[in-house]
Amino acid sequence: MNLFLAASGVMLLVLGWKLFWLFVGVVGFAAGLQAAQLVLGPQPFWVLWAAGMICGVIGAILALFFQKLAIGIGGFVAGSTIALHLTMMMGYDPSALLALIGGIVGAVALYLLFDWALIFLSSVAGATMIIEALGRHAPYAPALSALLMAAGIIFQARLLMVSRKADH
């Protein structure tokens, strides 16, 4: 599981802006995995994995065929998931209100500032997944998380600039 989280995180850091469907699919997988643990409680690994895969596939399909809807859902799920992970990484208890606020901010940002919000959200989500795979309670987690976020934002921003330059 940790290898999958780390690999998914790296893909989001590098390709989150380029492949919107990948972003929504991976974020959907992570959210489905979390939701299954919260709703179903302790379950065999395959049950949690199946719930995550179902949510991820639904997210990817939405992104491919219903982009406007996927922008709202993907932004909301990414924002709430990021808010919860960062809260836990800082040692605080997560709350539903914080998840709701993070989700609303993520959805609005992705809708209004698609390219830049997607770069930011995919970089934060990717860094968060890598930190989760390595262990969020490690003493180096906050510094490594910030470094990974910055690297993802810089890399994807360069891809965006090159793409825009090629279009003109």
Tokens of 3: 């290898």
pLDDT at site 111: 87
| Structure-derived torsion over alpha carbons of residues 89, 156, 76, 85, reported in degrees to the nearest 10 | -10
pLDDT at site 154: 96
Residue 31 has pLDDT above 90, yes or no: no
Query: Are 2 and 130 spatial neighbours (Cβ–Cβ below 8 Å)?
Result: no
Q: What is the pLDDT of residues 84-139, one digit of tens each?
A: 877 877 778 878 888 899 999 989 988 898 899 889 989 988 998 898 888 767 78
**Residue 78, φ and ψ in degrees, nearest 5:** -65, -45
CB-hemisphere CA count at 13 Å for 57?
6
The residue written with tokens 């970089």 in the block is: 123
Which amino acid, 10? V
Q: Between the CA of residue 21 and those of 11, 44, 71, 88, 100, what are the distances in Å?
A: 12, 28, 10, 27, 23
Residues 6+ apart with CB under 8 A from 115: 17, 160
